[in-house]
Amino acid sequence: MDTILQKYLPERSVGPCLELIRQAGVHLKIVNERVTRHGDYRRMPDGRHQITVNATLNKYRFLITLVHEIAHLVAFEKYGRRIKPHGLEWKRTFQHLMLPFLRPEVFPSKLLPLLAKHFRNPKASSSTDANLSIALKQFDGPTYKNFVFELPLGSVFRIYNGKLFKKGNRRVKRYECVDMATGKLYLFQPNAEVELIKD
């Protein structure tokens, strides 16, 4: 497991992550990309705990996702199964588990202020924190995708399921985009990753 995790995690985080995995008694599966989530935790019918994390994540997002999912298990074990999945108990657990990793030996210095801000009140997904998501993207490999906020007004883009949208005006934080097939209006986060079709 040690050598496998070295491929996916920042070097100085491998040992502490292995210890977290052992303490939690969890089976970690690294899986092909799922567009709708970076990872998940579930309790299997036989009582075992399983966490899956997308193999395609960069090492910093992989670390955040792994600790996020372990925090679900730890919070459920400590506070019971009736807590909200991303409620106060989970947030406190996630903050506590993530704190030892928020160091320049693990994360690049330019990410640390954004991570410190994010972990004051962590969201259900790091992708909903637009500033952190954009900063983490620079560590991804080459990609053909763009953020919605980067696209010119009126451009047409495709999302993960093949649907086409036309970018409209910004409404407070999100962008109004029209489904080209139905004419329905949808709101997109500025950091939603899409494929530009024509501008």
Question: Per-residue confidence of the chain (199 residues) as pLDDT tens digits?
Answer: 778 899 999 999 999 999 999 999 999 999 987 777 899 999 999 989 999 999 989 999 999 999 999 999 999 999 998 999 999 999 999 999 999 999 999 999 999 999 999 999 998 888 888 889 889 988 987 777 889 999 999 999 999 899 999 999 999 989 999 999 999 999 999 988 899 998 7
pTM: 0.83
Separation of alpha carbons 178 and 172, rounded Å: 17
Neighbours of 60 (CB within 10 A): 24
Q: Would the CA dihedral through 29, 34, 37, 42 be positive or negative?
A: negative
Contact indicator for 133, 197 with CB cutoff of 8 Å? no
DSSP alpha helix (H) spans, 25-141: 59-79, 88-98, 112-118, 130-137
In sequence order, what are the residues at sequence separation of 6 or more whose Cβ sits closer than 8 angstroms to the Cβ of residue 74? Answer: 24, 93, 97
Give the type of residue at 161.
Answer: N
As given in the structure block, the two tokens for residue 146 are 């763009």
Measured in whole angstroms, how far is the alpha carbon of residue 56 from the centre of its chain?
11
Give the type of residue at 34.
Answer: R
SS3 state of residue 155: coil
Query: Which residues does residue 59 pair with via DSSP β-bridges, in sequence order?
Result: none
Separation of alpha carbons 109 and 134, rounded Å: 15
